[in-house]
A and B are shown apart, each in its own frame.
Chain A
Amino acid sequence: MREKQIDKLKDYKYGFTTDIENIRAPKGLNKEVIEFISKAKKEPKWMLDWRMKAFERLKNLKEPNWQKPKYPKIDYQDIYYYSAPKSASEKPKNIDELDPKLLETYKKLGIPLQEQQRLNGIAVDAVFDSVSVATTFKDKLNEVGVIFCSISEAIQKHPELVKKYLGSVIPLTDHYFATLNSAVFTDGSFVYIPPGVKCPMELSTYFRINASQTGQFERTLIIADKGSYVSYLEGCTAPMRDENQLHAANVELVALDNAEIKYSTVQNWYPGDENGKGGIYNFVTKRGLCKGTNSKISWTQVETGSAITWKYPSCVLQGDNSIGEFYSIAITNNYQKADTGTKMIHLGKNTKSKIISKGISAGFSDMTYRGLVDISSKAKHSTNYTQCDSLLMGNKCGAHTVPYIKNKNPESNIAHEATTSKISEEQLHYCQQRGLNPEEAVGLIVNGFCKEVLQQLPMEFAVEAQKLVGISLEGSVG
């Protein structure tokens, strides 16, 4: 029978580069570079001191090495820690004054920033390499008291909030990459929702790495005050390059009494080519603190990009009756690797957590789900439900499930379910007999497999994510 030639090269449509003049800090990691970053961002002294404290601490820390995907040693002196478009050195007040090249870039990425073209009902903070270049709908959000701006702006304009909460969930001393981020973080988003306010639109940050040999050190802080609600989404892309680039982010969420934060990620960093050359190292620390009673934090992630994804968006359930949720789809193809999952730390009484993880591996890739459920002795009547499903395509990829369960409380309850399955030849044949080509068939089957998680995404992004799930697996059948 004639074998159809399936193009093995997957089309990464965000792989373009924007040719733009940059201001860069000198290469390398040292005090001068940290001072450069702090100065470029016009930071107050307390912020610089905080960075220096982290830098001192970093000297005594070692990179962790317990993860499954190993990578060549990173030369931290060979990275640019700050790179910003020259035209964005003074962030324009009006988006229409933004460098046309930047406007064009975001338009190409499907995130138009100009007023007349903006996405309906979604406010966007656009982060390009080390700086936030634009934030839309700020005025509209201001009317209800919602603060949505870059973290750099928040440090200048809302120091009391930043001082109070920055590092309160991920301490400066947490671990190597978190501490590195604390020393050199460049930009990211800041959100504050005042008491009783339901944020009237989706908030979203779009991260773009453009410059070569540059690391991106995102810092995001979201605070939902008493009785408030916010839904936030982040998206990420980068050009196709032969080198590996580091994205080491820290994201902190704080939910006070009766507040709810829904945080969704569609991560589509450049994954490297079909031979595993290039791609982003996505080493990220994301943690949410359910500080108040009846608070709720829900993480939803669709991880399709990056050469290596290494992250565990976690919830610390401190307030009584608080709820933590983690919904994840992770897809690896070709030579991609992922070690991802979550931590649910139950401290308060009657706390509940739920973990739904869907891992799909294809090609020569390798996927690990790693998760911790920790119920402390004081967290009486707490419950956790975990479901981990893995789907394998072909026989050269790997899937691993590593659940850690600690229950110090006899009155609490933990349930764990895990399955591993393969897309069968028979299923594919059935779909093809009904007129679907192999890629459409895989897309349909995989979307069915991921359905429970896709349903959690804000509607505007669910369709995009569904398409992305199909595209990520292109070339994996044939």
Chain B
Amino acid sequence: MLKIKNLKADIDSKSILNNFNLEIKSGEVHAIMGPNGSGKSTLSNILSGKKGYDVSGEILFENKNLFELETEERAHKGIFLAFQYPLEIPGVNTNIFLKTSLNAIRKARGEKELDAIEFLKLVKIKAKELKFDEEKLNRQLNVGFSGGEKKKNEILQMSILNPKLSILDETDSGLDIDALKIVADGVNSLRKKDNSFLIITHYQRLLDYIKPDYVHVLMNGKIIKSGGPELALELEKKGYENFN
């Protein structure tokens, strides 16, 4: 599904990612763990299409060159990023944002757009599954939401858009245990043979709830070790500094 070959990324002539390689197949869950400044967020930014980086190498998503696609075109193809810091958009009702987003993607795929009633029906089911307070969906997008509510809102959007590849950028940071479980349940319910996940995190904690197929350790812009879920436990025990 996703093949990253020899990715190099600089920002303002400073090297962030170098010789980065990763392959994710359909249905797999990969976790990337790394200390602050190792390049984790840069990776999610580049996959989502954020501007401002000098990049070289190759990223193929379902055999299509990602560098040729605009951010929204990547979203249409099924790439979703749960943001580390979800943005506030004052004056825009959360439900309307969600509906606009879903219909933009459906339209790009040549699918029928949902009308208000169909959409509300869908959102009601999903919100209930994720124990997301429906009343909040009538508020301005992320305005006045707590950190945990913002993250849950990202997962709600993910579950409504049903992407092929979901990238979770430190979604666990700032969540209490209950919220963490809800987020993990959301991810697990979307785990199907066609859907893949890339989970970016500092801590092993989230991986207690979402069992990854692979764990990669990212340091100084490249993956220094890959393994199974046991790698995360080893990392947690040793700490990043002694790991290398």
Q: Chain A residues in contact with chain B, CB under 8 A?
A: 1-2, 4, 424-427, 429-438, 440, 444-445, 447-452
Within 8 A of A (CB), among B24-58: 48-52, 55
On chain B, the residues within 8 Å of A434 by CB distance are 75, 97, 101, 104-105, 157, 161
On chain B, the residues within 8 Å of A449 by CB distance are 90-91
Asked whether B81 is an interface residue with its Cβ less than 8 Å from the other chain, the reply is yes
14 pairs of residues in contact across A and B, judged by CB atoms under 8 Å: A1-B70, A2-B70, A427-B89, A429-B71, A430-B87, A431-B89, A434-B157, A436-B72, A436-B100, A437-B70, A440-B104, A447-B92, A449-B90, A452-B91
Instruction: Please give me the residue from chain B that is nearest to A438 by CB atom.
Output: B72
Cα(A434)–Cα(B97), bound, Å: 9
Majority DSSP secondary structure for residues of A touching B: helix
On chain B, the residues within 8 Å of A431 by CB distance are 89, 101
> Contact: A433 with B100, CB < 8 Å?
no
Instruction: Please give me the residue from chain B that is nearest to A445 by CB atom.
Output: B89
Instruction: Please give me the residue from chain B that is nearest to A454 by CB atom.
Output: B91
> Contact: A436 with B87, CB < 8 Å?
no
Q: Which of B68, B75, B90 has a CB less than 8 Å from the CB of A433?
A: B75
> Contact: A435 with B92, CB < 8 Å?
no
> Contact: A425 with B51, CB < 8 Å?
yes
Cα(A429)–Cα(B52), bound, Å: 12
Cα(A2)–Cα(B51), bound, Å: 11
Instruction: Please give me the residue from chain B that is nearest to A443 by CB atom.
Output: B100
Q: Chain B residues in contact with chain A, CB under 8 A?
A: 48-52, 55, 67-72, 74-76, 80-81, 83, 86-87, 89-92, 97, 100-102, 104-105, 108, 140-141, 157, 161
Given A4-B70, A440-B100, A448-B140, verify A433-B81 contact (CB < 8 Å).
Answer: yes
> Contact: B108 with A435, CB < 8 Å?
yes
Cα(A433)–Cα(B49), bound, Å: 8
Cα(A429)–Cα(B81), bound, Å: 11
> Contact: B108 with A448, CB < 8 Å?
no
> Contact: A447 with B87, CB < 8 Å?
no
The 4 closest A-B pairs by CB, nearest first: A448-B91, A448-B92, A434-B101, A432-B71
Extra inter-chain contacts (18) besides given A1-B70, A438-B72, CB under 8 Å: A1-B49, A1-B55, A429-B49, A429-B71, A433-B48, A434-B75, A434-B97, A434-B105, A435-B72, A435-B161, A436-B101, A437-B72, A440-B104, A444-B92, A444-B97, A448-B89, A448-B92, A451-B92
> Contact: B76 with A435, CB < 8 Å?
yes
Q: Which of A1, A424, A440 has a CB less than 8 Å from the CB of B51?
A: A1
Q: How far is the CB of A437 from chain B (nearest CB, A)?
A: 5
Instruction: Please give me the residue from chain B that is nearest to A448 by CB atom.
Output: B91
> Contact: A451 with B91, CB < 8 Å?
yes
> Contact: B70 with A448, CB < 8 Å?
no
Cα(A425)–Cα(B76), bound, Å: 20
> Contact: B67 with A2, CB < 8 Å?
yes
On chain A, the residues within 8 Å of B157 by CB distance are 434
Cα(A426)–Cα(B87), bound, Å: 7
> Contact: B87 with A427, CB < 8 Å?
yes
Q: How far is the CB of A209 from chain B (nearest CB, A)?
A: 33
On chain A, the residues within 8 Å of B87 by CB distance are 424, 426-427, 430
Given A2-B70, A435-B75, A435-B105, verify A430-B83 contact (CB < 8 Å).
Answer: yes
> Contact: A450 with B91, CB < 8 Å?
yes
On chain B, the residues within 8 Å of A435 by CB distance are 72, 75-76, 101-102, 104-105, 108, 161
On chain A, the residues within 8 Å of B97 by CB distance are 434, 444
On chain B, the residues within 8 Å of A448 by CB distance are 89-92, 140-141
Q: How far is the CB of A442 from chain B (nearest CB, A)?
A: 11
Instruction: Please give me the residue from chain A that is nearest to B80 by CB atom.
Output: A433
Q: How far is the CB of A438 from chain B (nearest CB, A)?
A: 8
Q: How far is the CB of A170 from chain B (nearest CB, A)?
A: 35
Cα(A20)–Cα(B80), bound, Å: 55
Cα(A159)–Cα(B92), bound, Å: 49
On chain B, the residues within 8 Å of A438 by CB distance are 72
Q: How far is the CB of B1 from chain A (nearest CB, A)?
A: 18
Cα(A429)–Cα(B74), bound, Å: 12
Cα(A265)–Cα(B217), bound, Å: 60
Cα(A440)–Cα(B97), bound, Å: 11
Q: Which of A2, A440, A444, A445 has a CB less than 8 Å from the CB of B68?
A: A2
Cα(A351)–Cα(B172), bound, Å: 53
On chain B, the residues within 8 Å of A447 by CB distance are 91-92
Cα(A445)–Cα(B52), bound, Å: 22
Cα(A440)–Cα(B74), bound, Å: 16
Q: Which of A1, A424, A433, A451 has a CB less than 8 Å from the CB of B67?
A: A1
Cα(A424)–Cα(B50), bound, Å: 13
Cα(A2)–Cα(B68), bound, Å: 6
Cα(A449)–Cα(B143), bound, Å: 13
Cα(A438)–Cα(B71), bound, Å: 9
Q: How far is the CB of A327 from chain B (nearest CB, A)?
A: 14
> Contact: B81 with A444, CB < 8 Å?
no
> Contact: B100 with A444, CB < 8 Å?
yes
Q: How far is the CB of A426 from chain B (nearest CB, A)?
A: 6
Q: How far is the CB of A366 from chain B (nearest CB, A)?
A: 24
Cα(A435)–Cα(B99), bound, Å: 11
On chain B, the residues within 8 Å of A427 by CB distance are 87, 89
Cα(A194)–Cα(B34), bound, Å: 76
Instruction: Please give me the residue from chain A that is nearest to B86 by CB atom.
Output: A430
Q: How far is the CB of B142 from chain A (nearest CB, A)?
A: 9
On chain B, the residues within 8 Å of A1 by CB distance are 49, 51, 55, 67, 70
Cα(A151)–Cα(B72), bound, Å: 52
On chain A, the residues within 8 Å of B92 by CB distance are 444-445, 447-448, 451
Cα(A449)–Cα(B50), bound, Å: 24
On chain A, the residues within 8 Å of B80 by CB distance are 433
Q: How far is the CB of B77 from chain A (nearest CB, A)?
A: 10
Q: How far is the CB of A69 from chain B (nearest CB, A)?
A: 28
> Contact: B91 with A432, CB < 8 Å?
no
Q: How far is the CB of A131 from chain B (nearest CB, A)?
A: 41
On chain B, the residues within 8 Å of A450 by CB distance are 91
Q: How far is the CB of B105 from chain A (nearest CB, A)?
A: 4
